[in-house]
Amino acid sequence: MLAEWGQVALAVAAVVAGLQAVLGLAGAERGWSAWMTAARRAAVAQAVLLGIAFGLLVVLFLKSDFSVRLVASHSTTVTPWYYRMTASWGNHEGSMLLWATALAGWGAAVAGGSSSLTATMRARVVGILGLVSVGFLLFLMLTSNPFERLVPPPAEGRDLNPLLQDPGMILHPPLLYMGYVGTAVAFAFAIAALLTGRLDAAWSRWARPWALTAWVFLTLGIVVGSWWAYYELGWGGWWFWDPVENAALIPWLVMTAFLHSVIVTEKRDAFRAWTVLLAIAAFALSLLGTFLVRSGVITSVHAFATDPTRGLFILGLLAITVGASLALFAWRAPTLSGGGGFNWGAREATLLVNNVLLSVAAASVLLGTVYPLLVEALGGGKLSVGEPYYVAVFVPLMAPAVLLMGIAPFLRWKGDDWRRVGKTIGVDLLVAAGGALAIVGGWGNGSWRAWLGLSLALWVFASSGRLLWRRLVGERREREEKGRSVRVRWRETPAGWWGMWLAHLGVGVFIVGVTVLGALERRLDVKMVPGGSTMLADYRFVFQGVEEVAGPNYKAQRATIEVWQGDRQVAQLRPEKRDYYFSTMPMTEAAIDSTLWRDLYVSLGEPLEGGAWVVVLFYKPMVFFIWLGPLLMAVGGVLAALDRRYRLMGSRGERSKMGIS
Partner 1 sequence: MRWRFVIPLVIFMGFVGLFVVGFDLNPRAIPSPLVGKPAPFFSLPRFDQPDQMVTPEMLRGKPYLLNVWATWCVSCRMEHPELMRLAGEGVRIVGFNYKEVRGDASVDARRLSPEAEREWAWARIEEWLQKGGNPYDVVVVDLTGRSAIDYGVYGTPETFFVDAEGIIRHKQVGPISRAIWEGELRAKWLAIAGGEKGGPYERR
Interface positions with partner 1 (CB under 8 A): 69, 72-73, 76-79, 150, 154-159, 273, 277, 280-281, 284, 288, 291, 295-299, 303, 306, 308, 311-312, 315, 318-319, 322-323, 326-327, 329-330, 333-334, 370, 373-374, 376-377, 382, 550, 553, 555, 581-582, 584
The residues near 196 (Cβ < 8 Å, ≥ 6 apart) are 120, 121, 124, 661
- Residue 543 CA to residue 533 CA, distance in Å, equals 6
The smaller minimum CB distance to partner 1, of residues 1 and 155, is found at 155
Task: Provide the phi-psi class of 537: left if phi over 0, else alpha when psi is between -120 and 50, else beta.
Answer: left
- Residue 333 CA to residue 329 CA, distance in Å, equals 5
Residue 238, phi then psi, degrees to nearest 5: -120, -10
Which residue, among 535, 552, 555, 553, has the nearest Cα to 543 in the 3D structure? 535
Q: Which amino acid is at 456?
A: L
The smaller minimum CB distance to partner 1, of residues 306 and 544, is found at 306
Centre a 10 Å sphere on the Cβ of residue 34 and count the other Cβ atoms it contains: 9
The smaller minimum CB distance to partner 1, of residues 278 and 460, is found at 278
- Residue 295 CA to residue 293 CA, distance in Å, equals 6
What is the closest distance, in whole angstroms, from the C-beta atom of residue 14 to partner 1 in the complex?
Answer: 25
Is the CA virtual torsion 71, 73, 74, 80 positive or negative? positive
What is the closest distance, in whole angstroms, from the C-beta atom of residue 326 to partner 1 in the complex?
Answer: 4
What is the closest distance, in whole angstroms, from the C-beta atom of residue 250 to partner 1 in the complex?
Answer: 12
The smaller minimum CB distance to partner 1, of residues 326 and 649, is found at 326
User: Contact at 8 Å (CB) between 578 and 587?
Assistant: yes
What is the closest distance, in whole angstroms, from the C-beta atom of residue 156 to partner 1 in the complex?
Answer: 4
Distances (CA, A) of 565 to 240, 364, 535, 536, 537: 31, 44, 10, 10, 10
What is the closest distance, in whole angstroms, from the C-beta atom of residue 439 to partner 1 in the complex?
Answer: 43
- Residue 472 CA to residue 494 CA, distance in Å, equals 12
The smaller minimum CB distance to partner 1, of residues 311 and 629, is found at 311
Helix (H) or strand (E) holding 524: strand 522-528
Helix (H) or strand (E) holding 191: helix 168-196
Which residue, among 639, 213, 359, has the nearest Cα to 351 in the 3D structure? 359
Centre a 10 Å sphere on the Cβ of residue 584 and count the other Cβ atoms it contains: 6
b/e map 454-480, b = 16+ CB within 10 Å: bbbbbbbbbbbebbeeebeebeeeeee
Q: Which amino acid is at 423?
A: K
Which residue, among 195, 91, 208, has the nearest Cα to 140 in the 3D structure? 91
What is the closest distance, in whole angstroms, from the C-beta atom of residue 419 to partner 1 in the complex?
Answer: 35
DSSP β-bridge partners for residue 579: 555
What is the closest distance, in whole angstroms, from the C-beta atom of residue 618 to partner 1 in the complex?
Answer: 29
The smaller minimum CB distance to partner 1, of residues 150 and 431, is found at 150
- Residue 498 CA to residue 265 CA, distance in Å, equals 20
What is the closest distance, in whole angstroms, from the C-beta atom of residue 287 to partner 1 in the complex?
Answer: 11
The smaller minimum CB distance to partner 1, of residues 77 and 485, is found at 77
The smaller minimum CB distance to partner 1, of residues 375 and 473, is found at 375
The smaller minimum CB distance to partner 1, of residues 149 and 466, is found at 149
Distances (CA, A) of 567 to 435, 540, 593, 620: 34, 10, 18, 21
- Residue 632 CA to residue 510 CA, distance in Å, equals 9
What is the closest distance, in whole angstroms, from the C-beta atom of residue 574 to partner 1 in the complex?
Answer: 20
Strands (E), 14-97: none
What is the closest distance, in whole angstroms, from the C-beta atom of residue 374 to partner 1 in the complex?
Answer: 6
What is the closest distance, in whole angstroms, from the C-beta atom of residue 547 to partner 1 in the complex?
Answer: 14
- Residue 442 CA to residue 24 CA, distance in Å, equals 64
The smaller minimum CB distance to partner 1, of residues 354 and 553, is found at 553
The smaller minimum CB distance to partner 1, of residues 581 and 597, is found at 581
- Residue 182 CA to residue 317 CA, distance in Å, equals 17
The smaller minimum CB distance to partner 1, of residues 77 and 447, is found at 77
Coil/strand/helix, residue 483: coil
The smaller minimum CB distance to partner 1, of residues 296 and 435, is found at 296
β pairing state of 576-580 and 568-573: unpaired
What is the closest distance, in whole angstroms, from the C-beta atom of residue 358 to partner 1 in the complex?
Answer: 16
The smaller minimum CB distance to partner 1, of residues 69 and 124, is found at 69
What is the closest distance, in whole angstroms, from the C-beta atom of residue 260 to partner 1 in the complex?
Answer: 19
Q: Quote the Cα angle for 52-307-292, to 5°.
A: 85
- Residue 604 CA to residue 577 CA, distance in Å, equals 7
Side-chain-side CA neighbours of residue 557 (13 Å): 17
b/e map 42-75, b = 16+ CB within 10 Å: bbbbbbbbbbbbbebbbebbbebbbebbbbbbbb
The smaller minimum CB distance to partner 1, of residues 18 and 135, is found at 135
What is the closest distance, in whole angstroms, from the C-beta atom of residue 278 to partner 1 in the complex?
Answer: 10
What is the closest distance, in whole angstroms, from the C-beta atom of residue 318 to partner 1 in the complex?
Answer: 7
User: Contact at 8 Å (CB) between 159 and 582?
Assistant: yes
What is the closest distance, in whole angstroms, from the C-beta atom of residue 4 to partner 1 in the complex?
Answer: 21
The smaller minimum CB distance to partner 1, of residues 527 and 555, is found at 555
Residue 40, phi then psi, degrees to nearest 5: -65, -40
